Amino acid sequence: MPEARCQRTIGRAVKISGRGLFHGCDVRVRLLPADPGVGVVFRRVDLVGRPEVAADVRNVAPGSRRTILCCGAAVVETTEHLLAALAGMGVDNCIVELDAREVPAVDGSCLPFCEAILAAGVVSQGVKKPEPMRLPLQRIGDPDGSQWVECIPGSDFVVSYRLDYGPQSPVPAQSQAFAISPDVFLAEIAPARTFVLESEVEALQAAGYGRHLTGSDLLVFREDGSLIDNQLRWADEPVRHKILDCIGDLFLCGHEVSGRIVANRSGHRLNQLVAEVLQVHVANAETDVEGFLRVA
């Protein structure tokens, strides 16, 4: 079991700006140091009263293809990439000020957020964190078994993902696993960008999402598996991005964990459910939770 370490924040304020992935709004973000025990808190400085919402799974609001946090008037969308950067770089406490409802997409990965964190510096706060929570042995998945996440006890934090959309998918089946540390996260996971199928783009844009995007803003796969106006950073970049999403979503449980997460085709909703289960230490042997089955 890893030893408890001191809590960390960033050394100074840093700024990041860009357009949101889904809504295309221009947004400016400031990452600020925060006191021990604060956690990660988003602050909407564009709204009256500057309302806040904590990065906590209890504040997750419904939304497809992204993680939305909501507390009263404070709604912040597409939080998972920034949360992954903070988690991957070992930042426990941070205030995130933003002047729009969506975190900027930057280049579709979380590398620019990591670079901002490195520029600010990560500093110890001299206050011990609780010991990492040992993952309970259980599997959480949908009833037909096509999507699931398995938690396996262990001494390190390892995230493994299996991506397989079937033999007809433009994205080939791929799997990857990493023992997570800041160095590994920065080199092997943070640069992995979000992706979408060309066949999905029309429906998303018809729903009002991503109308500002081009193929150079994220990975868009044609039916033949080629990319529109872009190139892969790794042959298995999609599965690395799925690991990035997992890390960001699991950060919402509020606990550092030790053990292995094995995810099979999981998305944000299932990742969030795993964070919820870990947070409340559910001990029931078998329970149905919003369409997913948990088996100890």
- 161 plus 281 within the same structural domain: yes
Any idea what the CATH number is for the domain that residue 256 is in? 3.30.1700.10
From 114, 112, 69, 101, select the one nearest 249 (Cα to Cα). 69
Please tell me the predicted confidence (pLDDT) of residue 11. 98
Is 81 a residue of the active site?
no
- 209 plus 185 within the same structural domain: yes
In a domain, 17, yes or no: yes
Q: Output the CA angle 250-107-17, nearest 5 degrees.
A: 90
- 84 plus 40 within the same structural domain: yes
- Tens of pLDDT, residue by residue, the chain (296 residues): 455 789 999 999 999 999 998 888 999 999 999 999 999 999 999 999 999 999 999 999 999 899 999 999 999 999 999 999 999 999 999 999 999 999 999 999 999 999 999 999 999 999 999 888 888 888 999 888 889 999 999 999 999 999 999 999 999 999 999 999 999 999 999 999 999 998 888 777 777 777 777 777 889 999 999 999 999 999 999 999 999 999 999 999 998 889 999 999 999 999 999 999 998 753 343 344 444 455 43
274 backbone dihedrals φ, ψ, rounded to 5°: -60, -45
- 139 plus 282 within the same structural domain: yes
- Structural domain that includes position 244: 133-295
In a domain, 1, yes or no: no
In a domain, 35, yes or no: yes
Measure Cα distances from 242 to 40, 65, 160, 246 in Å: 22, 12, 10, 6
Domain-ending residue, one of 102, 128, 154: 128
Any idea what the CATH number is for the domain that residue 21 is in? 3.30.230.20
- 242 plus 153 within the same structural domain: yes
Cα-Cα-Cα-Cα dihedral of 220, 62, 52, 23, to 10°? 30
- 182 plus 283 within the same structural domain: yes
The residue to which tokens 């709204």 are assigned: 47
Please tell me the predicted confidence (pLDDT) of residue 293. 52
Domain-ending residue, one of 86, 106, 128: 128
In a domain, 43, yes or no: yes
Q: For the chain, how many structural domains are there in total?
A: 2
| Identified catalytic residue from 212, 255, 268, 281 | 268
In a domain, 66, yes or no: yes
Domain-ending residue, one of 128, 162, 178: 128
- 155 plus 271 within the same structural domain: yes
What is the model's pTM?
0.93
- 192 plus 228 within the same structural domain: yes
Judge whether 132 and 250 are in contact, CB under 8 Å: no
- 121 plus 235 within the same structural domain: no
Please tell me the predicted confidence (pLDDT) of residue 134. 85
Distance of CA 89 to the CA centre of its chain: 13
Please tell me the predicted confidence (pLDDT) of residue 281. 56
Please tell me the predicted confidence (pLDDT) of residue 294. 53
